[in-house]
Each structure stands twice: as structure tokens, then as C-alpha cells.
Structure 1
Amino acid sequence: METEKATASAWFRELRDQIVAAFEALEDSQPGNGPAGRFEVTETSRASDDGSDAGGGLMSVMRGGRVFEKVGVNISTVYGTLGDRAQKAMAARGVPGMAEDPRFWASGISLVAHMQNPHAPAVHMNTRMFWTPGAWWFGGGSDLNPCIEYDEDTAHFHATQEAHLAPHGAEHYPKLKAWADEYFYIPHRKRARGVGGIFMDDHCTGNWQADFALTQDIGRAFLPAYVPLVEKRRGTEWTDADKDTQLIHRGLYAEYNLVYDRGTKFGLETGHDANAVLMSLPPLAKWV
């Protein structure tokens, strides 16, 4: 499994590099008085109880760009021993052997983009691999979070994802779409966070190569699903009312990530860099 771990970790880094380059190209091609936005890259680390090496990653954040008000693209590879709360959470999900051997290894990419123009949709994407001595699995997906919805944008986002999943079997897209609709639902608001996408977790068929290939295509679907929407909407004229709508919608995003998101809880409970874990929060939000 060490070879598979290294392969997955390298892929997440490759995907990160592709996305960072594409987003900086969007900044370069957007007219504006100020300089095009650029990512600030910071190394992150996971704190272990005994001070031993526990892994880390790269936090790449762009703020105040021409297109992106705030976007983060993080990668990490962390390992060590799960604490009691994380062990119990894993055991509750059916992960075998947690009580006997709580070691873990996890690697992945996580992205959240909040836009300057309220007509350009916010977006989330992540893919990851998780290993314990008793199991391994993949998870992740991407979902679109427009504050001003366009039916044709939603259709494009979903159709692109469906096309990338099709080579792996016709059953995957409807299953992962339904999973996203359920996962990205905000119970206390009785509404979805956005217009959906695809999502999976605990995915392990026993065929590592096949499961990794599916995970790669979930990642590969992201740029062609999202970038054309940004190119279409980034120059749309907007009003103060549009901006107000965006800020209120961002409040939903913040509520979901702080209350329900499994990745946020895991990152904080296992001692990863808090700034990297909370990178997904918007720069400004509003509640009524």
C-alpha cells in the first residue's frame, strides 16, 4: 500500500498545480485596474501529541483578485494516531480495527472559491484517500454554490461531471449526484447549500486501481465543469442588491462548513493547521 499512497499523494499535488495555473490564467485574462491575483503559498503541518513528524501540506490562497475575492486550494498528506473522538467516529462508520490499531494516513486536495462578481458561482471541490490498518477508501466530489442561479450553468456543471463518470459505469453519476444532494443539505435551514454536484465517501470496491481512476476523473471533471461558467459570468454587471444576495448566501456556506462538514471536523480534531482547515470560510458574509 505504500506505493499506492505515494501515487495518490502525487496525483493530488498534480491536480492542485493544474487548478492553480488555470485560476491564475483567469485572473490574467480579466480586465482590471489592479494587479491580477496570485496565490500565496504556505506550508502547513499537523501537530502530533508527542512532537513527532505527522505530515502536512501546502495552503494556497488568493485574496482580492480581479475574479476571485478569496480562493483556496489546499493539499495535505498527514498520518499518525487518531484520538479518541476520531476513533469513535471512524468506528461508528464501520471502519474495522479502530480499537486495536488507531493508526491512519490521509491525503487529499480541498478547494473553495468565493467570487468578486455575485453572478459568478462559488464552488467547492475535494478528493481524498484515507488508510487505516484495517481499511482504505476514497472520497470527495464537487458542488456548485451560486447565489444567483442560472439553469444553463447548473446543467453544464452536472453534464460535465456525468460525462467524466460515464467510463466507470452508468450507475455512478446518479448515485453520486443523489449523495451530494443529501450530504450538502442544511437541516436547520431546510434547504440545499447550492445546486448540487457529485459526492462519495468510504468508496472501496477492493480494486484500488479502479477506485483511484474514478477519483482521478472526479478531479479531472472540475476545471471543464467550472471554468466556462466563470468565463461567462465574471463580466456581468451587478448591483448592490446582487452583492447583498451573495453575502447572505455565503452565510449558508459558513453555517454548513462549521456545523456539518465532515472534513472540517476531522481536520480540527486531528490537529491539522486550523487556518488550512478553515480556509473554506468566505472573506465576508451576512446574516439577516
Structure 2
Amino acid sequence: MNIFFFKFSTLLYLLGALAYSSYIIFLKEYLSKSALTVVLVGFAAHTLALITRYAEAGYTPVTNLYESLSFFAWMIIGVLLIANLKYKISVLGALLTPIALILMLFAYALPKEIVPLAPVLRSFWHPFHILFAFLGNAIFALAFCCGVMYLIQEHQLKAKRIGAITQRLPSLRVLDDLNYQSLTYGFPLLTLGIITGAIWAEYAWGRYWNWDPKETWSLITWLLYAALLHQRLTVGWRGRKAAIMAIIGFLAVLFTFLGVNLILPGLHTYANWQ
């Protein structure tokens, strides 16, 4: 049953992404509302997919690449819905929904069988670690989108191209503020994710830190966002610099999440893409 809900939510995310793209092209408000409704239903179906998989597996279903991709996509859509509710920026869906869709399509191609839980994952700290880490990363995806939109909007304004794209994007001030707010929420969550991961590592391997490639790149990612937050608070970094750093930071997140797991051998490597 969990696979059915997973496939259904993937289809709805696809339809939602198409509706958001149509909104960008035609700038019709009903397309934005339709896209939001479809994505919301998709999120509900996705939630059922996670719940039913948990019921069938008997453990938190974030233990392999398929489950991790699905959970990350679910978190991103959840962040999108909350951001849309608070800020009413429809164009965010045109960027975040495709990101979630790509993750879902990647997951769709992977093995989906439920296997017995590995002993190392039987930890009280495992659910907290993945919750903090994935939620922080999903919020960084929001900051990434704000950074991309900021650079596009800035380029359009400097070129004095006050056209369709400029009308669809929020102002530079709004994008910069949302970028900063995303950082202030995402960074503490990433920090908690690393701390709970270290506690879990001590339980599983007898050491809080093993300099595993995943741990090392998590630290690199943390340092990138720490530097950005420090510069914003002390030097007053805003605008273009902050947007570029938000983009670089999320690229580091993606490499830490996927690149390290699939390329570099270590404790977090997904064997045979399972």
C-alpha cells in the first residue's frame, strides 16, 4: 500500500510542477491555486505513504536511499506549504516542487523492498537525527530557491528588463529577508542533526566522531552556513553575496546527502544503491 501512495503522490507532484510552470508562463492566479491544491493533496498522499511504510516496516522508514529520497522530498514539500501559507509567494512552488519531484523520480527507480532493520540503526537517536537533519536541509532548499530568484531578479533589474519575469518574482528585499529567515531556522536544525548524529555514532560505533566522509562533509556544510550566518550578523552581508552563499551551501547539502553516500566509501554509504 505504501508504494501505491508513493506513486500517486509522485504523479500529483508532477501535475503540480506543471501547473506552477504554467502559472509562471501565463500568470493566471487560478493556475497558482490549482497547483497548490494538487501539491497539497500530493503531500497528504505522501504522508500516507510514509505512515503505511512505517506500519509495514515497524521502524522509522529512512534507512536506505529510496526512503531517504522520499523523506527529503516530503520535507521539502512540507516546507513549501508552510512558506506559502506564511508568505504567499506562489513562485516558490515553481522551484521547490520540481526539486521534490526529481528526488521522487530518483527514488522511483530504486529498490523499494522493506528489509530487516540493521542493528546499527536500532537507536533512540536515529529518528531525531534524521528529523533535524532533513528538516534543516529542506529549509536550506528554500534558501537556495530564494538565492536563485534573487540573482535572476537582480539581473533583470540591472538590465532594466521590467517584464514578465520581474513581475512574477518577489522584490529583492523580500527574497533577501526570506533567505535570512531560512538560515536562522535551518542552521540550528542542522546543528541539532549533527549533535544527535554524534550521540548516535557513540552508541553505534563507540565514538562520537569518526571522520567518516559523511561526517566530514556535514561539518563542511555546517561551516559554510555558519560563515554565512556570521557574516550576515557581524559584517552585514546581504543581497547578492548572501544569495550566492545560500546556493553554494545547498549544493554542499546535496553532495553531502547524495554524492558522499554514493561515491565515497564510509559508514553511511548505500551499498548497491539500496
Q: Normalised by the size of structure 1, how large is the TM-score? A: 0.30
Q: Normalised by the size of structure 2, how large is the TM-score? A: 0.31
Normalized per residue, the structure richer in strand is: 1
Normalized per residue, the structure richer in helix is: 2
